[in-house]
Structure 1
Amino acid sequence: MQRTHKFLLFILFALSISACSNFEKLRKSTDEKKKYNAAIRYFKKGQYDKASILIEELLPILTGTDQQEIATFYQAYCDYHTGNYEMANFRFKRFAETFARSEFYEEAVYMSAYSLYKNSPQFNLDQSGTITAINELQSFINNYPDSKYRDETTDLIKELRKKLETKAFEKVKLYYKTSPFNIGTLKSAVIEIVNFQRDYPDSDYNEELAFLKVQAQFELAQSTIESKQKERYDDAIKFYQDLVDKYPKSDFLKKAEKLYDVSLKESERIAKIEAEYKAAKEKEKSNTSKVGAADKQQ
């Protein structure tokens, strides 16, 4: 059994050496037709690395020939299939520019945009690549509204926008998580929530963010100086009312209601203190005026 296993390994090794040797012979061959046919065979067998190497060497020679178009098209697909999406985007785009009348033109334009979709980073990374992919996919739909790729492209755009939405949501939560009673970051958390609600009005995250807005505003009111507390408690009250109006059956209502009750009491307490202070100042002013008038009479 062990001998059989070793023999099989030897055969595989020998075949591998032979294949490499044959490939190197092809690379050195001056028979362009043989080399081209081999590149096409490698491509169709899914051996994209080898196909790409041969096509790269052939293309300068194929310029102006009937084979240039298909070789250039396959070269872009080689990059795509080997995960080199940035280069695939470039080569599909260049193919479309070079062969505007090709039967593969629309496919190349689509694959150029699709390669950017494949190259889009995870949501927690910089999303400039995702935005570029969305723009190119949207441009494809605008230019080819009846394309067979239309529905797929629409789904890809939705997926990429969801990634941007998730990125924005996590950014908001990060502001809140790192802002316990920090006035600057609490302010930023509220601003980011408002921006998110504006940019993604139909997002599934908006219910949770509506609650977080109440919570962040409440904590901001607690953390701020007395002269600004009433205004910020009043905002927390308003945010709670917005939450109730939009999500009357929300799971966050019980927690939010506690914050609302405290905010209401604090707002009323501060209003009472301010009213008493104002009345005292007016009384003091009135008494001062009376004393001044008495002094004049004397």
Structure 2
Amino acid sequence: MNKFICFILIIISLSSCSEYQKALKSEDLALKSKTANDLYEKGKYTKALRLYEQIIPAYRGKPQAERLFYMFSKSYYNTKQYYLAGYQFESFASSYPKSEKREEAAFLGAECFYRLSPRYSLDQIDTEKALSKLQKFIDTYPDSEYLPKANEYVKELREKLEKKAFEIAKQYYTISDHRLEYNAALKALDNFISDYPGTPFKEEALFLKFSTAYKLAINSVEYKKEDRLNLAKTMYNSFIKFNAESQFKPKADTMLATIDKELQQFSK
């Protein structure tokens, strides 16, 4: 019985392949369209795509075009060809403003750019583009059923940009070992805190800012040392004010003790 079932399945598979090959070579648009749609419904999106690519130009402006264009776009999406899918979904939403699929196409088009966003350590041009597309969708469809997902994507992408910006600022701190580099690190950390006031990295950024000011003060020329020690102490207070129970507090307290000891020489 098992052998018989396998035999039947092989026959069906060969027949299906034969129909697909026949449609590929055929000049009959109706046959190509039907075969493509059948393959799409069966989840065979790669094969369906080859047929859609052949017939889509010929169907533009015809009544069947809207459905075919949507399935064509969705096939790119389902095969994870997100650049092409994003472009096609945007084109669909623009070409069929009254379509019941327009809102979904607009969302999926924006989602494609979200999926193209790379990890934070790489260039974030696609992340910026994804944020722009998602924000446009949110503004256009404020009551959409896809709104929660769109907002979730926006939050994730913004956090990725924050992580990227923080790592850049942190790198200034990591490589700093003389006065000019300390000042560059302070500026980078200042800019980060200013640009992302609600960032989850604020605590560490404030600690790094204090630590940089500490290094600058300790290694300062004598006539500037007192002012820089006091500035570092001010930054310590800002850090502690933000979170008095910070994981970085023990290190900060050790540095503060050194600052206070250094300041004693100026009070004599």
The reply to whether TM is greater than 0.5 is yes
| Residue 187 of structure 1: how far off its partner (Å) | 2.1
The unaligned stretches of length 5 or more in structure 2 are: none
* Distance of aligned partners of 1:125 and 1:28 in 2 relative to their CA distance in 1, 3 Å threshold: same
- SS of equivalent residue, structure 2 residue 200: coil
Gaps of 5+ in 1: 274-298
Matched, 1:69 2:66: yes
How many angstroms does 1:86 deviate by? 1.4
Structure 2: which amino acid aligns with 1:204?
P
Match of residue 258 from structure 2: 262
Partner of 1:161: 158
Structure 1 residue 209: Cα displacement: 1.9
Q: State the TM-score, normalized to the length of structure 2.
A: 0.89
Q: Secondary structure at the residue paired with 1:191?
A: helix
Q: How many residues align?
A: 264
Partner of 1:59: 56
Q: CA RMSD in A?
A: 2.3
Residue 181 of structure 2: SS of its match in structure 1?
helix
Residue 105 of structure 1 aligns with an amino acid whose one-letter code is R
Aligned residue among 213, 218, 222 for 2:214: 218
Q: 1:196 aligns with which of 188, 192, 209?
A: 192
Change in Cα spacing, 1:222 to 1:15, as seen in structure 2 (3 Å) is farther
The 1-side partners of 2:238 and 2:65 are apart by: 63
Residue pairs, 1:75-94, within 5 angstroms: 75-94=72-91
User: 2:244 aligns to what?
Assistant: 248
CA apart distance, 1:182:
3.0
CA displacement at 1:18 relative to structure 2: 6.0
Residues 234 and 264 in structure 1, CA contact (< 8 A), matched pair in contact too: no
| Residue 116 of structure 2: aligned partner | 119
Which residue pairs with 2:225 in the alignment?
229
- The secondary structure found in structure 2 opposite 1:126 is coil
1:275-294 per-position Cα deviation (integer Å, ceiling 9, x unaligned): xxxxxxxxxxxxxxxxxxxx
1:1-150 to 2 correspondence within 5 Å? 19-150=16-147
Q: Is the 8 A contact 2:186 2:213 kept in 1?
A: yes
Q: Distance in 2 between matches of 1:101 and 1:59?
A: 20
Counterpart amino acid of residue 205 in structure 1: F
- Return structure 1 stretches of 4+ with deviation > 4 angstroms: 10-21
Query: Which residue of 2 is the match for residue 206 of structure 1?
Result: 202
Deviation, structure 1 residue 68: 0.8
Amino acid at match of 1:173: K
Contact 2:117 2:126 in 1 (8 A): yes
Point out the structure with max Rg over C-alpha.
1
Counterpart-to-counterpart distance in 2, 1:229 and 1:16: 82
Q: Which residue is equivalent to 2:149?
A: 152
What secondary structure, in the 3-state scheme, does the structure 1 residue paired with 2:49 have? helix
Structure-2 separation of matches of 1:140 and 1:226: 58
Instruction: Please state whether the residue corresponding to 1:66 is helix, strand or coil.
Output: coil
Q: 1:244 to 1:60 in 2, by over 3 A?
A: closer
Partner-residue secondary structure (3-state), 1:77: helix
Cα distance in 1 between the residues matched to 2:58 and 2:200: 56
How high is the TM-score relative to the length of structure 1? 0.81
The change in CA–CA distance for 1:17 and 1:189 in structure 2 (over 3 A counts) is farther
Q: Which amino acid aligns with 1:32?
A: L
The amino acid across from 1:93 in the alignment is E
Q: Is the 8 A contact 1:183 1:220 kept in 2?
A: yes
Tell me how far 1:99 sits from its aligned partner: 0.9
Structure 2 distance, partners of 1:203, 1:115, is 26
